[in-house]
Amino acid sequence: MVDVLITNGPWLIAIAAAFGFLMAWGIGANDVANAMGTSVGSNAITIKQAIIIAMIFEFAGAYLAGGEVTSTIRKGIIDSAYFVDSPELLVYGMISALLAAGIWLVVASALGWPVSTTHSIVGAIVGFAAVGVSADSVAWSKVLGIVGSWIITPAISGFIAFTIFQSVQKLIFNTDNPLENAKRYVPFYMALAGFVMSLVTIKKGLKHVGLHFSNVEAYSLALVVAVLVGIGGMLAIKRLKMSQSADHQTQFGNVEKVFAILMVVTACCMAFAHGSNDVANAIGPLAAVVSVVNSGGEIASKAELVWWILPLGAFGIVMGLAIFGKRVMQTIGKNITHLTPSRGFAAELAAASTVVIASGTGLPISTTQTLVGAVLGVGMARGIAAINIGVVRNIVVSWVVTLPAGAGLSIIFFFMIKGIFS
């Protein structure tokens, strides 16, 4: 059956590239929208600014740092030994998985549901492998690990967000002079954001450009960046014209202005971290198809990324956000709980920190669930009444539906593609 790959190779690659682009487009519409949702929802930046920031940083994250997670998605979930005698099944399966996950993401984005792109592709890959090939070809323990991370991830990010927000309340808002304390403490929050961000860049991003750092060097560099960001923040806050004698309400408003500056920094961080983590969902299966077709049916343990794959994924993500990202931004930024820049900052920094922790361990977490967990953590800090339970219920239902939806669509497409080509 390897003849199928040789005669239809260019067609299979072209179809996989088109569906890979659709999948990346869905990631942009759904996932990037929630990476930017807190910044837009708290009115720190406009939708137009969010799209420009995302374009630059998502593209950079995907292009510079997107190679690492790709191997986890591709190698971990299904056992390639089952495809050695019939590599064309792996090609058909990955193509159907991309189409299935892409369609589900577009539907979810249209409904304004922040679902997980990671679950969509995992569900789709598990679906075609279990039904179309053999239930034993799926590493069910890995799938369980991923399911476990859906509970653990929002819990971790919610806890971190809760803690950050409580510290902001204690050190700044619940004091006699919020403005003075904001000038004192905000540079430290900025430095923390700089540290988390630079760490993900150094540890994940730079090694794909041929720069390698040991752990000590990476942490030292991140510390230097943190200090510089903190100093920069201090100078920026000094330049803001604000009246110390104003009443508490006005001072709160001025403090939020300071946090709005911070939100822009964290929005850039989130976009970069997201690009590096989630582009894998679109390009992992595509890289597998290209690798199998180009090698004439040989399934390598590590697929070399062809030069055009990363830019295709990065460009697809940016297009999806620009054209279709508004609805999910609305859900995350406005509908779960009322966000101000200080609350949005706590949520975003917590989510970025969780992404860093997960990326370091190579776990394919869901950025969506990380962020929803963080927004819930911030809402919880103000009491359960501050959370819109109905919206949260819909989000959780959409998460549960995502795996079977991806799997079901993928099974249908798998048999259709198999029928067309063989």
* Tens-digit pLDDT profile for residues 295-332: 777 776 665 677 888 889 888 988 898 888 888 888 88
Q: Look at residue 68 and tell me whether its pLDDT is greater than 60.
A: no
What is the distance between the alpha carbons of residues 82 and 299, in angstroms, rounded to a whole number? 11
Q: What per-residue confidence (pLDDT) applies to 128?
A: 92
If pLDDT is split at 50, 70 and 90, which confidence band does 363 have?
A: low
Most trustworthy range by pLDDT among 241-245, 267-271, 350-354: 350-354
Q: Which amino acid is at 405?
A: A
Mean pLDDT of the chain: 83
Are the C-beta atoms of 285 and 19 separated by less than 8 Å?
no
- The residue-averaged pLDDT of 364-370 equals 78
For the segment 14-63, what is each residue's pLDDT rounded down to a tens digit? Answer: 999 999 999 999 999 998 777 788 888 888 888 888 888 888 888 887 77
Cα 407 to its chain centre, rounded Å, is: 21
Q: What per-residue confidence (pLDDT) applies to 322?
A: 84
Selection from 90, 83, 108 nearest residue 26 by Cα:
108
Selection from 355, 350, 296 nearest residue 164 by Cα:
350
What is the distance between the alpha carbons of residues 200 and 193, in angstroms, rounded to a whole number? 11
Q: What per-residue confidence (pLDDT) applies to 288?
A: 83
The structural domain count of the chain equals 1
For the segment 112-168, what is each residue's pLDDT rounded down to a tens digit? Answer: 898 988 889 889 999 999 998 888 988 888 788 777 777 888 899 999 999 999 999
- SS3 state of residue 86: coil
Per the model's pLDDT, the better-predicted residue between 99 and 134 turns out to be: 99
If pLDDT is split at 50, 70 and 90, which confidence band does 103 have?
A: very high
pTM value is 0.84
Q: What per-residue confidence (pLDDT) applies to 108?
A: 93
Are the C-beta atoms of 225 and 195 separated by less than 8 Å?
yes
Find all residues with CB under 8 Å of 247, minimum gap 6, and list them. none
Q: Look at residue 359 and tell me whether its pLDDT is greater than 70.
A: no
Alpha helix segments (H runs only) across 30-116: 33-41, 47-65, 67-76, 87-111
What is the distance between the alpha carbons of residues 187 and 21, in angstroms, rounded to a whole number? 40
Give me the half-sphere count of Cα atoms (radius 13 Å) on the Cβ side of residue 18. Answer: 6
Task: Domain of residue 337: give its range.
Answer: 2-421
What is the distance between the alpha carbons of residues 319 and 20, in angstroms, rounded to a whole number? 13
- Mutual orientation of helices 2-27 and 389-421 as an angle, nearest 10°? 160
Q: Look at residue 412 and tell me whether its pLDDT is greater than 90.
A: yes
- The residue-averaged pLDDT of 255-275 equals 80
CB atoms under 10 Å from CB of 383, counted, come to 8
